[in-house]
């Protein structure tokens, strides 16, 4: 029977480095509030084992996108982070202006002008038990890492989707971005098992909910652009922004409505278009729903217009961008 060695500090770090040397093109930089510093060595991008984030999932997070050296929709993300902190009874780790500067510094240290940023706020370290009152926190972690998207021939790749069998989260948990993502992980696993790209939950009233990490929208036969209400799901920052931008299509008469509303599976089944909205998916057209073709089986005109509006919203002159470099 193999006996595991007890290593000294130097030997431990050497093994860590050897195990994670190939991750420098994936993980660019990490800020740790425990150390109040940034590292660019993936082997040192760690969270302590006695952090409630590690062994209890006790924390909240946000995922932001940096495009060509500018953060997209940062104010909306950081406002939602504060909402999530309040939702689990935890104070923010620092003022928003300080947090934004830490995010900037982490991205700059990673040296990649286009990347994703994960902001984690943990209840803190100090106990292997469950009592949050014994934690020394909150503690902030910020990671800059590689942005990957569904790209095919230079365009967002159309997708297939279906309804999920995984029970939706209780409202209290669904409306905050908590780090316990087991339900979301099971939805992603279900999508793989069913050979689709996305699965969509059903809320307690039998209406469409959300995907594992993204929101859904439809275009009805009456040219209504509808997104599910946020009573039982997380309010998506990209989804909200897409609705705001879609008001121009409403004004132009291209749409007859652009709003949140309860959406039944039947409405989805008869929709002219279905699309997925999210930080990494932008506006991804769904061309197959529940095994049936959506529309003519190609990305529809409204999904194309929404994607164009979102892309325009990410250009250097947009009010939604925050300069990093």
Give the Cβ contact number of residue 82 at 10 Å.
16
Distance CA 7, CA 2 (A): 15
Please, what CATH class does the domain formed by 14-148 belong to? alpha beta
pLDDT digits (tens, 9 = 90+) for 20-71: 888 989 999 999 999 999 999 999 999 999 999 999 999 999 999 999 999 9
pLDDT for 157 equals 87
Q: Say yes or no to pLDDT of 153 above 70.
A: no
Say what the pLDDT of residue 117 is: 98
Tokens of 227: 């997104």
Least confident of 124-138, 144-158, 232-246: 144-158
- For the stretch 109-126, pLDDT in tens is 999 999 999 999 999 999
Pairing of strands 115-122, 139-145: antiparallel
Contact 48, 98 (CB under 8 A): no
Cα Rg for the chain, rounded, in angstroms? 21
Task: Identify the top-confidence range among 142-151, 152-161, 294-303.
Answer: 294-303
Please give the average per-residue pLDDT across 115-144, as a whole number: 97
| 151 or 237, which is more confident | 237
Report the C-alpha gap between 208 and 204 in whole angstroms: 10
Q: Decide: pTM greater than 0.85.
A: yes
Structurally, at CATH architecture level, domain 152-312 sits in Alpha-Beta Barrel (3.20)
Whether the predicted pLDDT of 154 surpasses 70: no
The answer to whether the beta carbons of residues 13 and 28 sit under 8 Å apart is no
The Cβ of residue 18 has, within 10 Å, a number of other Cβ atoms equal to 9
Our answer to whether residue 305 is catalytic in this structure is: no
Question: HEC profile for the chain?
Answer: CCCCCCCCHHHHHHHHHHHHHHHCCCEEEEEECCCCEEECCHHHCCCCCCCHHHHCCCEEEEEEEEECCEEECHHHHHHHHHHHHHHCCCCCCCCHHHHHHHHHHHHHHHCCCCEEEEEEEECCECCCCCCHHHCECCEEEEEEECCCCCEECCEECCEEEEECCCCCCCHHHHCCCECCCHHHHHHHHHHHHCCCCEEECECCCCCECCCCCCEEEEECCCCEEEECCCCCCCCCHHHHHHHHHHHHHHHCCCCCEEEECCCCHHHHHCCCEEEEEECCCEEEEEEEECCEECCCCCCCHHHHHHHHHHHHCCCCCCCCEEECC
pLDDT value at residue 151: 67
Domain with CATH 3.20.10.10 in the chain: 152-312
User: In whole numbers, what is the pLDDT of the chain averaged over residues?
Assistant: 95
What is residue 163's predicted lDDT score, i.e. its pLDDT?
Answer: 98
Query: Of these residues, 65, 169, 177, 305, which one is catalytic?
Result: 177
Please name which of 220, 199, 215 lies closest in space to residue 269, comparing C-alpha atoms: 220
**Are residues 189 and 220 in contact, defined by beta-carbon separation less than 8 angstroms?**
no
């Amino acid at each position: 029977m193999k006996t595991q060695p007890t290593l000294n500090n130097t030997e431990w770090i050497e093994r860590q480095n050897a195990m994670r040397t190939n991750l420098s093109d994936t993980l660019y930089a990490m800020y740790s509030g425990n150390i109040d510093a940034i590292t660019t060595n993936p082997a040192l991008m760690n969270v302590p084992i006695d952090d409630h984030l590690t062994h209890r999932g006790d924390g909240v997070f946000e995922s932001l996108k940096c495009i060509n050296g500018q953060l997209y929709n940062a104010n909306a993300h950081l406002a939602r982070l504060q909402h999530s902190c309040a939702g689990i009874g935890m104070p923010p780790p620092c003022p928003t202006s300080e947090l934004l500067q830490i995010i900037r510094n982490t991205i700059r240290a990673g040296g990649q002008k286009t990347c994703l940023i994960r902001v984690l706020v943990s209840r803190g370290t100090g106990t292997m038990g469950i009592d949050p009152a014994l934690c020394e926190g909150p503690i902030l972690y910020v990671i800059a890492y590689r942005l990957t998207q569904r790209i095919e021939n230079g365009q967002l790749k159309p997708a297939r989707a279906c309804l999920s069998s995984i029970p939706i989260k209780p409202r209290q948990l669904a409306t905050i971005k908590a780090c316990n993502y087991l339900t979301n992980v099971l939805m992603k696993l279900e999508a793989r098992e069913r050979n689709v790209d996305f699965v969509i939950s059903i809320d307690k009233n039998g209406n469409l909910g959300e995907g594992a990490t993204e929101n859904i929208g439809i275009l009805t036969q009456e040219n209504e652009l509808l997104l599910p209400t946020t009573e039982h799901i997380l309010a998506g920052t990209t989804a909200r922004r897409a609705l705001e931008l879609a008001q121009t299509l409403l004004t132009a008469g291209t749409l007859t409505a652009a709003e949140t509303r309860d959406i039944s599976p039947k409405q989805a089944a008869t929709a002219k278009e279905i699309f997925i909205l999210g930080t990494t998916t932008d506006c991804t057209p769904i061309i197959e729903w529940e095994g049936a073709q959506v529309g003519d089986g190609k990305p529809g005109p409204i999904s194309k217009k929404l994607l164009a509006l979102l892309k325009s919203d990410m250009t250097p002159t947009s009010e939604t961008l925050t300069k990093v470099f």
